[in-house]
Amino acid sequence: MTSVGAGVRVIGSGAATAPQCLTNEDLSQMVDTSDEWIWTRTGIGQRQLCTEETSLAMLAAEAGRQALSAAQLDPQALDLIILATSTPDDLFGSAGQVQQLLGAERAVAFDLTAACSGFVFALTTAAQFIRTGAYRNILVIGADVLSRWVDWSDRSTCVLFGDGAGAVLLQASDETDNLLAFDLYTNGSLNSCLNLPYQGQPKTLIADKQVTQGNYQPISMNGREVYRFAVARVPEVIEKVLFQAQCQTSDIDWLILHQANQRIMDAVGERLKIPAERILSNLAHYGNTSAASIPLALDEAVRQGKIKPGDLLALSGFGAGLSWGAALLRWG
């Protein structure tokens, strides 16, 4: 057990990408679209997709394995694994599978579902277990296989999504607390703007008893409303966490937004007056990977030497729910 009041620090990161690359040119052979149409509206050039042999748990475990390696921590030292995903292999949860694949038998493991906000929600949830003294080493993974739930005949959505996983390893610290602030929100009245709904058919059990049985339907999205929501709420929540931490926009070394649409990221940067060179984007290569997008971009920047110990990161996720949130994190 850690001491109550322990701080949070990040000691490693990792990522895993799906094996297949689907380009805009490939999509133009499937639906009425073109590379130019996709680029100008989304900023996406390609996306990585899982094969039949690649599971969500496998992707998540590989990202976790890389984070453990970067931190030089044995899986047996893990106390908790939080898997942020909306696309589990098993509707009862996939975190247990990840625990087994990692050989982390001591760790409690559970799924957390908050769609594209999932990684930020999971990160801040993990921090509370550390701060209360419950756990010392926590692996936070964001992973999604959205290709399972895309209508590949709908050009408004099929051009957007990809598969992937990213992870960070949090550890308790008696010397510092590098999660400086966070703020989370949900507006359920806008739920219909972006969802993946269950649709059932009635099934009669006996004369006067009936249930429904069915399946989940492909992703549906009102792109215009989601854009308006994100451009309004994301800068606002980032300003709130900066205020909580008594920091200024100019203090941010790297802004890491959910990689949904390049136009959204550009608009948020403009409103916050953060120059483009301080906004991390790998959307062009991976598309929208939901809960995986922030840790994927983060890990890539760490391994490229962009993010260095002591850098101040502003993270913000937004999406289905509708949900959104931000966290201010000192790297290291």
pLDDT tens digits for range 46-95: 999 999 999 999 999 999 999 999 999 999 999 999 999 999 999 999 99
State residue 4's pLDDT score. Answer: 58
**Domain ranges for the chain:** 7-176
% pLDDT > 90, the chain: 97
Whether the CA torsion 19, 25, 28, 30 is positive or negative: it is negative
Q: Is pLDDT of 2 > 90?
A: no
Q: Does residue 158 have an active-site annotation?
A: no
Q: Give per-residue pLDDT as tens, 146-201.
A: 999 999 999 999 999 999 999 999 999 999 999 999 999 999 999 999 999 999 99
% pLDDT > 70, the chain: 98
In whole angstroms, give the CA distance from residue 319 to residue 271: 19
Q: Is pLDDT of 107 > 90?
A: yes
**77 to each of 9, 125, 171, 177, how far by Cα in Å?**
16, 19, 11, 21
Q: Give per-residue pLDDT as tens, 24-44.
A: 999 999 999 999 999 999 999
State residue 82's pLDDT score. Answer: 99
Q: Do 144 and 136 form a contact (C-beta atoms < 8 A)?
A: no
State residue 5's pLDDT score. Answer: 65
List, in sequence order, every residue forming a beta bridge with 318; answer none if it has no partner.
324
State residue 312's pLDDT score. Answer: 98
Q: Which of 50, 258, 261, 282 is catalytic?
A: 258
In whole angstroms, give the CA distance from residue 330 to residue 332: 6
State residue 6's pLDDT score. Answer: 85
Q: Which of 116, 137, 158, 178 is catalytic?
A: 116
Q: Which of 24, 137, 282, 288 is catalytic?
A: 288
Q: Give per-residue pLDDT as tens, 198-229.
A: 999 999 999 899 999 999 999 999 999 999 99
Mean pLDDT (the chain) is 96
pTM: 0.95
Beta pairing, strands 209-216 & 46-49: unpaired
For tokens 């909580």, the residue is 244
Q: Does residue 215 have an active-site annotation?
A: no
What integer is the mean pLDDT of 296-315? Answer: 98
Q: Is pLDDT of 280 > 60?
A: yes
What integer is the mean pLDDT of 296-310? Answer: 97
Q: Does residue 285 have an active-site annotation?
A: no
In whole angstroms, give the CA distance from residue 258 to residue 265: 8
What integer is the mean pLDDT of 255-261? Answer: 97
Top-tier CATH class for 7-176: alpha beta
